Structure 1
Amino acid sequence: MQGKAIDINISGVPLHILRDVAISLKAGGVGYYPSSNFVHIDTGRIRYW
């Protein structure tokens, strides 16, 4: 395990805003999981799902 990803939810921050901010960084992968209430961010190639 290398620890190059995080699944995150910040209390008080709407999930879609967190996703949009992560995407704006243009620095890795961003997965949006609204039904599970988290955003996945990793250090891989730039991609979104």
Structure 2
Amino acid sequence: RLKGIMNAIYDQCVEAAEAYGVAGNLVAGANIAGFLKIAKAMMAHGIV
């Protein structure tokens, strides 16, 4: 179960990094993916 969660997080980081032009940079990918998740939640709650 934990391995599946960690694989999903890794995949999100890789995809975000590739989508925003920093392919291979997992730190940037993690920051981008985290920001997008927070931004979507804020929009869903009508904050932004």
Taking structure 1 as the reference length, the TM-score comes to 0.30
Higher relative contact order (CA 8 A, sep 6+): 1
Which of the pair is proportionally richer in strand?
A: 1
> Counting helix residues as a fraction of each chain, which structure ranks higher?
2
Larger Cα Rg: Structure 1 or Structure 2? 2
